[in-house]
Structure 1
Amino acid sequence: MIRPTSRLPALLAVGSSLAFPVVASAAFFEDSKASVELRNFYMNHDFRQDGASQSKRDEWAQGFLLNYQSGFTEGPIGFGVDALGLLGLKLDSGPDRQGTGLLPVGDDKAPDDYSQLGFTAKARISKSTLHVGTLIPKLPTVLPSDSRLLPQTFRGAQLQSREIDGLTLDVGQLTQNSLRNSSASDDMLVAGKGIRGGQASDEFNFAGASYKWSKQLSTAYNYGHLEQNYKQHIVSLRHHLPIRDGHSFDSDIRYARSTHDGNSNVDNTAVGARFTYNLNSHSFGVAYQKMSGDTGFPHIEGTNSFLVNYVMISADFASPEERSWQVRYDYDFTALGLPGLTFMTRYISGDNFERAGGREGKEWERNTDIAYVVQNGPLKNFGVKWRNGTYRSNGGNDIDQNRLIFSYTLPLF
């Protein structure tokens, strides 16, 4: 179970005690909602390079995600409480096959189950909301991973304000990190290629502002600081250009500058751009990404990185000085009378980074996704997805990977 950190119990207690005297408020109950999601996840990860210490990782697991969100009490300040319960069950694993990220890694074998339980106190004034407790923030500087059985969660506080139309402000602090395959709540670590000298930290401060200039254009600035590890500034721009019926062009441009803090050696500038042409049910995309500096792109351990070439197996194509490009194609089968069925394939190639012995590093990856979600009837919200990926390099791992995911979300109320 997730245990509250020493900094947060008082705030949680205050939020809960303030909510109870007005628990009879109709809005508290009427606006409440709860759902349970079931995920059945199989993953096979084969190492194809000569001399691999582990030939494959192969596991199968069942996940349960219970999500409750209350409404807010009435009055100038509304109070509420959220709850998140996570349970993962091992269906198949083995001492020589663990490490997929679906289950915790044991000394001998993966445990039979693992779980998390988190609570969040919340308060709302006008269009500003404060959350304190278990968080799953979705910001460029911190993007918790939800690509396995259970989502990654954090402990901390986040204030979001939308008092001005089109403007969203975020500020907060994270203190503990619960990885996607762990019951523990620990200090945060930095992840990134070539990064040294980082320290475990219980303080990640963040702030951000995004503004929607029109229905087509939005810009954002975000700041993140993992104490004793790195400081990061991210600027992004997104634009949607309607051309004519069924035709549009999307632009997504991102810039990030990361510098060291404490004794770390973080030094990275990341520039990326992705452009997509939408033609009815078809989408054709291209992306380019360039790393500069002594290290790769830093982010909190376990999180996704805010890069246009962050993908399935090799992660982010973000070695020091690496440049990479991507081509992508998506298709929505609704036009053929099959709503809910989608297809995606992409290819990414990276080079211009250094391997051992001074050789130029090169790597490529190919991904394919096929997914279907039932749109109506008794099995509405039941989904199945097959993900296939191939990764090759001239000095790292060579990997073939398959993921088969069945999911079903049941609204409780």
Structure 2
Amino acid sequence: MLKTPIARGVALATLGATLAIPSMAQAAFIEDTKAGLELRNFYFNRDFREDATQSKQEEWAQGFLLRVESGYTEGTIGFGVDAIGLLGVKLDSGGGRYSNGTQLLPGDGDTAADDFSEVGMTAKAKMSETVLKIGTMQFKNPAVANSDSRLLPALMQGANLVSKEIDGLTLDIGYANRNNQRASSDNQVMTMTTGTGSNPRGIRMTGGAVNESDDFRFAGATYQFSKSLSGSYYYSNLEDLYKQNAFNLIHVLPISEGQSLKTDLRYQRSKDDGSSNVDNKAFGAMVTYSISGHSFGLGYQKMSGDTGFAYLGGNVDPYLVNFIQVNDFANADEKSWQARYDYNFAAMGIPGLTFMTRYVSGDNFDRVTGADAGTEGKEWERNTDIAYTFQTGALKNLNVKWRNASSRNNYLDSANIDENRLIVSYTIPLL
């Protein structure tokens, strides 16, 4: 991991890669290069309603995200290089408000770092409609999706091969051996999400094994059966910890002009890989009716098997319909329902303004600690998002988003929270 200043590090790394390519083949490499600098200002406030140890978490930070994507050299096999430079700067923290739980800034548990940075490089090669990338990765598929919901994104070290040689078919194969969390400058061995000691997910290690792995692999395929129907299958394996089969079917039914009905079905089967007790079947369904800027959604998610849902730890988003701002509703045997409403104000002449609100309620899982152990666990969460992107004038493309969440449960006091996030972002195109 390079810890030089962000701009100098990315510039030198990209220049070095460019010089390594024969000058006669650099034309397309340089002409097709894209670069942008995103400025992301993030305020995070979490109020603990019943936790006696800490009343709140509160931080404010400024992020700088420099992304460079080169073109490819000429020839049957084209070569290129991508680079990402990240810098996070503390604006306000401390005074009993800091906690790694915000995941905006790294620290020692009491004090947040003043700043943190990193530079990542990715070599790439392209032949026809097949692309191979090796280096710093930001995956996004049903097997693994690195989170980008804080100041800086989570990253991984590995490789990814994506092929679209057959019309309508996308093949996706990947590997990772290290994880870089969103509030960290260090690459670390990977872990599996097991929940806290009071969380009834029920996942544990067996035979004295440690929850660590340096080998994650996945392979998947997505096929567009028709304009309105697509399906995917992914197999993934976090060595020694779990293996998983994931199926997804998405259908969009056009009803009339401006009206549609979208159905999203998901099923995942997870089992242990020798050093854990993972045994889970996860079913999810989301149906969304859209008309004239309005969208009305209903979702259902059900866990079955001996444990809750298993997925990569370290700021990876699980592919679950009821994974939302705070919770994933994936405890052992849990059943959860979601009601969601979206509105795009472009329908009434205000482009750039959007609104979303949803409510998820889960139950049917066992509480595992205290005098009430063995009784039914329950939880709910409510989210509201309002976002606006300026369309004209000096502030054009400036995005402002407010995210609010309230979460309550009857098994873990520290998860009873009210939360607000205010994110202001602007991307400056450099090339």
Say whether the fold is shared (TM-score over 0.5). yes
Moved more, 388-397 or 139-148: 388-397
Match of 2:105 among 100, 103, 106: 103
CA distance in 1, matches of 2:311, 2:118: 23
Q: Alignment partner of 1:29: what SS?
A: helix
2:64 maps to: 64
Say whether the 8 Å CA contact 2:98–2:110 is kept in structure 1: no
The answer for the alignment partner of 2:222 in structure 1 is: 210
Question: 1:241, 1:66 → 2: CA distance?
Answer: 39
Q: Which residue of 1 aligns with 2:326?
A: 313
Q: Distance in 1 between matches of 2:69 and 2:24?
A: 14
Off by >4 Å, runs of 4+ in structure 1: 15-19
Q: 2:319, 2:52 → 1: CA distance?
A: 30
Structure 1 regions of 5+ residues with no counterpart? 4-11
Q: Partner amino acid for 1:336?
A: M
- Residue deviations 1:47-93 (CA, integer Å, cap 9, x gap): 101x4321111000000000000000000000000000000001111
**CA gap 1:336/1:170 in 2 versus in 1, 3 angstroms:** same
1:378, distance to aligned residue in structure 2 (A)? 3.2
The answer (yes or no) to whether the contact 2:259–2:292 under 8 Å persists in 1 is: yes
Q: Which of residues 383, 399, 407 is equivalent to 1:383?
A: 399
- Aligned match of 1:334 in 326, 334, 346? 346
In structure 2, what is the equivalent of residue 221 of structure 1?
A: 233
- CA distance in structure 2 between the aligned counterparts of 1:327 and 1:158, rounded to whole angstroms: 36
**CA displacement at 1:19 relative to structure 2:** 5.3
Check whether the contact 2:287–2:297 (CA below 8 A) recurs between aligned residues. yes
How far, CA to CA, are the matches of 1:366 and 1:111 in structure 2? 31
* SS at structure 1 position matched to 2:21: helix
Structure-2 residue corresponding to 1:400? 418
Matched position secondary structure for 1:58: strand
Counterpart in 2 of 1:412?
Answer: 430
User: What residue number does 1:144 align with?
Assistant: 146
**Aligned counterparts of 1:172 and 1:145: Cα–Cα separation in 2:** 17
In the superposition, the TM-score normalised over structure 1's length comes to 0.94
Aligned-residue CA RMSD (Å) = 1.6
Q: Which residue of 2 aligns with 1:194?
A: 202
**Aligned counterparts, 1:6-405, within 5 A:** 16=17, 20-22=21-23, 24-49=25-50, 51-94=51-94, 96-99=96-99, 100-192=102-194, 193-197=201-205, 199-301=211-313, 302-314=315-327, 316-355=328-367, 356=369, 357-396=373-412, 397-405=415-423
Once the 2 structures are TM-superposed, how far is the Cα of residue 199 of structure 1 from its aligned partner? 2.5
Partner Cα separation in structure 1 for residue 310 and residue 53 of structure 2:
27
Paired residues of 2:25 and 2:74 also in contact (CA < 8 A):
no
Matched residue count: 401
Report deviation, 1:2: 5.3
Matched to 2:63, the amino acid is G
User: 1:10-36, CA deviations, whole angstroms, 9 ceiling, x for partnerless residues?
Assistant: xx9xx9599512465211011100000
Identity %: 58
- 2:417, 2:79 → 1: CA distance? 49
Specify the SS of the correspondent of 2:104.
coil
Deviation at 1:172, TM superposition (A): 1.8
Give, in angstroms, the shift of residue 105 of structure 1: 3.0
- Normalised to the residue count of structure 2, the TM-score between the two structures is 0.90
Gaps of 5+ in 2: 4-12, 195-200
